[in-house]
């Protein structure tokens, strides 16, 4: 083989080798690509399978939660128990106190083997705050129930709303036989307490103009002595004709001080000297409630000595003396003050007197100066008279002028 033929043979052999390498490379790369795609497909299938498992687990947990929250599995029993619970929820004794309240069962509907749907209708009249409490207590009970429809129609010249509520509840076949109608931790309510829930909803009145605060009348300062009752009555007016005003003490009131919420009557008996402040509030029942306040200063001072002038007149001489037939029947406590009951039998009437009140019965004219638990002291023209329970005025004991 000459050199030219040898060169040609080498070139041909190199070309054949290159073609073989290219063919083998293509086959190898194709197999690698196919395997990579297969691996990717398998990984995607594994991911999808895991996702389906997770979805199944979530669905199982959801079904288990629904089963736990379901009404009892027997629809008739569930309907009866749930209707009774609704009656208690809206009732006067343990419920929100709706007026003319009624609960009607609208029947049940079966959805295959999945569940029964029970429907109820609640009717009644109540104020807005009662409706808010009803919603709060309804959603605190963690059952499979919901309000499908709520109608609240304001009544003319009244704070009452005409309420009509349609409620749906579910019964699952795998549920327990008995349901627990007790409040849950409140996951279905936006607030953790009824007060916060009311504040979130009743921050404004949905059915009326903004609430006008009541106006509390001025209360004068009071001066008294230790162990002598103090009493005054707060009075407030409200421009909103449907609002009702109650009274309360705000801040740190003296021990024993109290005020009657409906009437505004304040009472307190101080034990020591000093100057005390009491803040009286008038609060209406609007939405939100509004208030006005007044601070009253109570000064407790030593009593001034009582100077008793000797009588300048002779006791009256009467042919018929009503004082002989005026008997001290009782000594009672009224609004923290002692009061005597004097039965004037000849006149057929009963006198009820406090310390400081004037008395004029027959030959006895004067002032009730002191009332004890079983006797009364009268400063009369005759002198200082001490009358015991069951005695008439003429049986009184004449006390010495310096007797305390």
- Predicted confidence (pLDDT) per residue in 110-147, tens digit: 998 889 999 999 999 998 888 988 988 898 888 889 99
User: Is residue 370 domain-resident?
Assistant: yes
CATH number of the CATH domain containing 374: 2.30.30
One domain for residues 219 and 281: yes
- Indicate whether 195 belongs to any domain: yes
**What are the tokens at 351?**
């006198």
Instruction: Please give the Cα distance from 266 to 282 (Å, whole number).
Output: 13
Cβ pair 148, 121 in contact under 8 A:
no
- Which pLDDT score, from 0 to 100, does residue 336 have? 84
Q: What CATH number is associated with residue 166?
A: 3.30.70.60
Residues 117 and 222 in one domain: no
Q: Supply the pLDDT for residue 268.
A: 94
**Measured between alpha carbons, how far is 42 from 311 in angstroms, rounded to an integer?**
123
CA dist., res. 244 & res. 99, Å (int): 19
126 plus 194 within the same structural domain: yes
Residue 129 within any structural domain of the chain: yes
For residue 71, the cross-strand partners are 171
- pTM of structure: 0.48
| Residue carrying the six token digits 């003396």 | 321
Claim to verify: residue 196 and residue 222 sit in the same structural domain: no
Q: Which domain holds residue 255?
A: 215-300
Contact assessment for residue 96 and residue 109, using Cβ atoms and an 8 Å cutoff: no
pLDDT higher than 90, residue 279:
yes
The model's pLDDT over 342-352, given as tens digits with 9 standing for 90+, comes to 999 988 889 99
- Flag whether 210 is in a domain: no
Do 86 and 181 sit in the same domain of this protein? Answer: yes
User: Considering the domain boundaries, does residue 132 fall inside one?
Assistant: yes
Specify the number of domains making up the chain: 4
- Whether 197 and 87 map to the same domain: the answer is yes
Give the span between the Cα atoms of 311 and 251, in whole angstroms. Answer: 50
The Cα-based distances of 82 to 88, 92, 105 in angstroms read: 10, 18, 10
- In contact, 214 and 281? CB cutoff 8 Å: no
Same domain as 261, residue 296: yes
């Amino acid at each position: 083989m000459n050199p030219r033929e040898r060169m040609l043979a080498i070139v041909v052999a190199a070309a054949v080798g290159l073609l073989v390498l290219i063919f083998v490379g293509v086959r190898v790369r194709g197999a690698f690509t196919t395997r990579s795609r297969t691996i990717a497909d398998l990984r995607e299938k594994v991911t999808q399978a895991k996702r389906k498992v997770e979805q199944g687990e979530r669905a199982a947990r959801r079904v288990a939660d629904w089963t736990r929250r379901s009404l009892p599995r027997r629809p008739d029993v569930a309907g009866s128990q749930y209707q009774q619970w609704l009656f208690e929820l809206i009732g006067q004794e343990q419920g929100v106190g709706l007026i003319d309240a009624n609960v009607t069962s609208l029947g049940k509907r079966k959805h295959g083997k999945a569940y029964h749907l029970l429907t109820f209708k609640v009717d009644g009249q109540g104020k807005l705050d009662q409706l808010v409490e009803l919603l709060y207590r309804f959603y605190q009970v963690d059952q499979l129930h919901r309000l499908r429809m709520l109608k609240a129609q304001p009544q003319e010249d009244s704070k009452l709303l005409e309420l009509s509520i349609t409620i749906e509840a579910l019964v699952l076949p795998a549920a327990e036989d008995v349901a627990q109608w007790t409040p849950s931790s409140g996951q279905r309510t936006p607030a953790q307490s009824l007060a916060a829930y009311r504040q979130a909803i009743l921050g404004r009145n949905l059915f009326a103009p903004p609430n006008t605060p009541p106006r509390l009348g001025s209360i004068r300062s009071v001066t008294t002595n230790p162990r002598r009752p103090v009493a005054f009555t707060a009075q407030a007016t409200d421009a909103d004709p449907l609002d009702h005003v109650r009274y309360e003490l705000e801040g740190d009131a003296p021990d024993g001080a109290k005020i009657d919420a409906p009437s505004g009557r304040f009472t307190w008996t101080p034990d020591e000297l000093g100057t005390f402040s009491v803040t009286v509030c008038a609060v209406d029942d609007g939405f939100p409630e509004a208030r006005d306040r007044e601070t009253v200063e109570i000064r407790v001072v030593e009593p001034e000595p009582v100077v008793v002038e000797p009588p300048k007149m002779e006791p009256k001489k009467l042919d018929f003396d009503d004082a002989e037939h005026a008997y001290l029947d009782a000594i009672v406590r009224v609004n923290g003050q002692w009061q005597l009951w004097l039965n004037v039998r000849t006149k057929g009437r009963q006198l009820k007197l406090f310390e400081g009140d004037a008395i004029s019965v027959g030959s006895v004219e004067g002032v009730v100066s002191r009332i004890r638990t079983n006797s009364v002291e009268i400063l009369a023209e005759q002198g200082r008279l001490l009358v015991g329970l069951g005695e008439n005025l003429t049986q009184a004991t004449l006390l010495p002028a310096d007797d305390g």
